[in-house]
Amino acid sequence: PTLPQMKFVLERKVAIVGVPFHGGQDKIGVDDGPAQLFKFGIGDQLKCLGWNVKEEMIPVADLKPKEDPSHGVLIGPRYVGAVTQALAKTVQTHVNEGNLVLTIGGDHSIAVGSIAGTFAVHPNACVIWVDAHADINTPESSQSGNLHGCPVAFLLGLATGVPGFEWLKPCLTSNRIVYVGLRDVDEGERKILRDNNIKVFTMKEVDRHGIGKVMDMALEHVNPNRDLPIHLSFDVDGLDPSVVPSTGTPVRGGLTFREGCYICELIAETGLLIGVDITEVNPKIGTEREIAVTLGVACSITRCALGETLI
């Protein structure tokens, strides 16, 4: 396929950064997502699209602190903070070298690091967040204490004073993020979204308008002149569980496979993409077939984001 002209990426270079991390939630297995996606051939698939690929893995085990008591309800904050700090530095380096960065999780708490790394180089960037969940809980609003439900709050500066995150300076503003696919939002998060006037397209809007119109409106909101770098943060549970069964917090009534692909295709067409997160693939959940299907879908949406077209 003819790949779009990239405005912020040099020489069709992509750095794939695996983050084998499950510390933002309590289900073992999501840490195996990067290894399994590498094994499934995600790098070779991108090479076939014409990308120059380099792969690396963040050594998360080396970053685990000896002591990591909870902070209020928040579980393991120092570990999450250390991993996301290391990821932010890695992403920043790759973006500075002209790479598009594909970050593969791991749970969605890693987006604190990937997005902070992107914004360190492109502070005017915007974020399109595809997910069943808003992931904008604060230490005060979180009920589970799982930090994969909090990354957007950290990036916006709404979660402060948490040990392990001293390195993080708020880099995102509420007008530079848009959500697509939400359908399971905590009561506290609803208030945070309203109070900060954050644009949300729930599954109701997708049903009402169709994914084409929703994506036009989403881009118009965060990138009206189509000139800002885009970071796409894609939690696979934004897709319906019938499409991606091997994920830790499935919610029925989600995006179809084609709707997920269309989101990525449209963003690819802009030529503005600078970073992509693919998170919450858990190869320890489901049957062998369900795991293979989930890995295949994760690779498909990644290829679409990096320029694969139907004809």
Of 32, 107, 135, 240, catalytic: 135
Of 22, 71, 94, 108, catalytic: 108
Q: Is 94 a catalytic residue?
A: no
Q: Is 107 a catalytic residue?
A: no
The beta strand positions in the chain, using DSSP E, are 13-19, 52-57, 100-105, 126-130, 177-182, 199-202, 230-235, 273-279
Of 32, 237, 265, 308, catalytic: 237
Using CA atoms, how far residue 70 sits from 53, 74, 91, 168, 239, in Å, is 39, 5, 28, 19, 31
Q: Is 209 a catalytic residue?
A: no
Does residue 141 sit in helix, strand or coil? coil
Q: Is 235 a catalytic residue?
A: yes
Q: Is 207 a catalytic residue?
A: no
Q: Is 133 a catalytic residue?
A: yes
Backbone angles phi, psi at 126, to 5 degrees: -130, 160
Q: Is 108 a catalytic residue?
A: yes
Distance CA 50, CA 72 (A): 48
Of 133, 240, 277, 308, catalytic: 133
Of 32, 235, 259, 277, catalytic: 235
Distance CA 25, CA 248 (A): 9
Of 32, 131, 205, 240, catalytic: 131
Of 71, 148, 259, 277, catalytic: 148
Between β-strands 273-279 and 52-57, what pairing exists: parallel, antiparallel or unpaired?
Answer: unpaired
Of 31, 259, 280, 308, catalytic: 280
Distance CA 33, CA 163 (A): 27
Q: Is 122 a catalytic residue?
A: no
Residues with catalytic function:
108, 131, 133, 135, 148, 235, 237, 280
